[in-house]
């Protein structure tokens, strides 16, 4: 059965879901998106994802022609049409079709689409034994050039770092900011554990404030683990007791080697394991709650 894609208010077959070659989302990466995951038929922290989508759109002066409630309903409508309860959702809003040239004033109105599909980002073995990452030479785009809070379609900065990871034979690359501090990986936020404390880079370091990242900070507190945001240098990561990444698709995944250096014991650490267990309990208990528009 062909998957259905929600496009501008209608469900269409995936192979028929197309945007025009003059769409500024295609031509210039002019648009915003969210990646959302569902558990047992409920979209994880959908309200937060939608709030971030609208903040991103507002920041680039893109008016989304649907309310959050309408988009929430459309997500569940698409999942139902595809017979899904566990899915990865891509909700995207492009600037729409316009003339050649970067001026958005020529566009005729946004294109909005929703894809619900499966996404396995990393193999199971990495969750059990940990993954290796490298530090990319490509640095994060400075906040003064592009606000990292905007989750835009222009991911070329991340893609270049991802290519470096592939060339090195690893699955992910760490990106530093222009000051040399740890920012984030190409698609995930990064945490370390040092002396029983969970540390992660602050938003001011040039990161996207991840939804799963926020959840992990909350879960750490609930488990009596001190967690805080602080500037980190590569040496802080090399000397960490534990390291892990967080993201919508990745959830929580241990990192056991960075730039060829073993982190801690070289195996997923106890606090990382505790947070993974707590996260799974949280999503399986549906503690993330049903958002508006859900069945």
Residue 172: closest CA among 120, 133, 127: 133
- Note whether residue 291 is domain-resident: no
Q: Is the pLDDT of residue 227 over 90?
A: yes
Q: Is the pLDDT of residue 9 over 50?
A: yes
- The residues near 17 (Cβ < 8 Å, ≥ 6 apart) are 5, 7, 113, 115
- Note whether residue 160 is domain-resident: yes
Q: Which of 149, 151, 228, 257 is catalytic?
A: 151
pLDDT at residue 121 in the model: 79
Q: Are residues 38 and 60 in the same domain?
A: yes
Quote the domain boundaries for residue 10.
4-117
Percent of the chain with pLDDT over 90: 92
Both tokens assigned to 270: 């106890």
Q: Are residues 171 and 274 in the same domain?
A: yes
Q: Are residues 144 and 205 in the same domain?
A: yes
End residue of a domain, out of 117, 136, 154: 117
Q: Are residues 216 and 246 in the same domain?
A: yes
> For the domain that residue 94 is a member of, what is the CATH number?
3.30.470.10
End residue of a domain, out of 117, 152, 187: 117
pLDDT at residue 235 in the model: 97
Percent of the chain with pLDDT over 70: 96
pLDDT, tens only, 238-294: 999 999 999 999 999 999 999 999 999 999 999 999 999 999 999 988 655 554 444
Give how many domains the chain has, as a whole number.
2
Q: Are residues 85 and 165 in the same domain?
A: no
End residue of a domain, out of 78, 95, 117: 117
Global pTM?
0.93
Is 290 one of the annotated active-site residues of the chain? no
pLDDT at residue 288 in the model: 52
- The residues near 229 (Cβ < 8 Å, ≥ 6 apart) are 199, 200, 201, 202, 203
- Note whether residue 263 is domain-resident: yes
Q: Are residues 183 and 102 in the same domain?
A: no
């Amino acid at each position: 059965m062909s998957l259905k894609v929600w496009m501008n208010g209608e469900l269409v077959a995936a192979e028929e879901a197309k945007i025009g070659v003059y769409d500024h989302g295609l031509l210039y990466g002019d648009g915003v998106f969210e990646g959302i995951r569902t558990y047992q038929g409920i979209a994880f922290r959908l309200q937060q994802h939608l709030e971030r989508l609208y903040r991103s759109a507002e920041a680039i002066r893109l008016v989304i022609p649907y309310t959050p409630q309408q988009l929430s309903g459309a997500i569940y409508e698409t999942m139902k049409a595809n017979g899904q309860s566990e899915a990865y959702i891509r909700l995207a809003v492009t600037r729409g079709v316009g003339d050649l040239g970067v001026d958005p004033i020529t566009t005729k109105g946004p294109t909005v689409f929703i894809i619900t599909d499966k996404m396995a980002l990393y193999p199971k073995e990495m969750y059990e034994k940990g993954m290796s990452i490298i530090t990319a030479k490509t640095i994060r785009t400075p906040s003064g050039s592009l606000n990292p809070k905007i989750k835009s379609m222009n991911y070329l900065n991340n893609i270049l770092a991802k290519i470096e990871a592939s060339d090195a034979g690893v699955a992910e690359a760490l990106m530093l900011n222009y000051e040399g501090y740890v920012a984030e990986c190409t698609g995930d936020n990064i945490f370390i554990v040092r002396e029983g404390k969970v540390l992660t880079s602050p938003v001011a370091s040039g990161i996207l404030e991840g939804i799963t990242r926020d959840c992990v900070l909350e879960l750490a507190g609930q488990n009596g683990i001190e967690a805080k945001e602080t500037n980190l240098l590569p040496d802080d990561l090399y000397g960490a007791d534990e390291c892990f990444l967080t993201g919508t698709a990745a959830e929580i995944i241990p990192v056991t080697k960075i730039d060829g250096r073993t982190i801690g014991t070289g195996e997923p650490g106890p606090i990382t394991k505790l947070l993974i267990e707590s996260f799974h309990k949280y999503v399986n208990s549906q503690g993330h709650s049903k958002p508006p528009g859900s069945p």
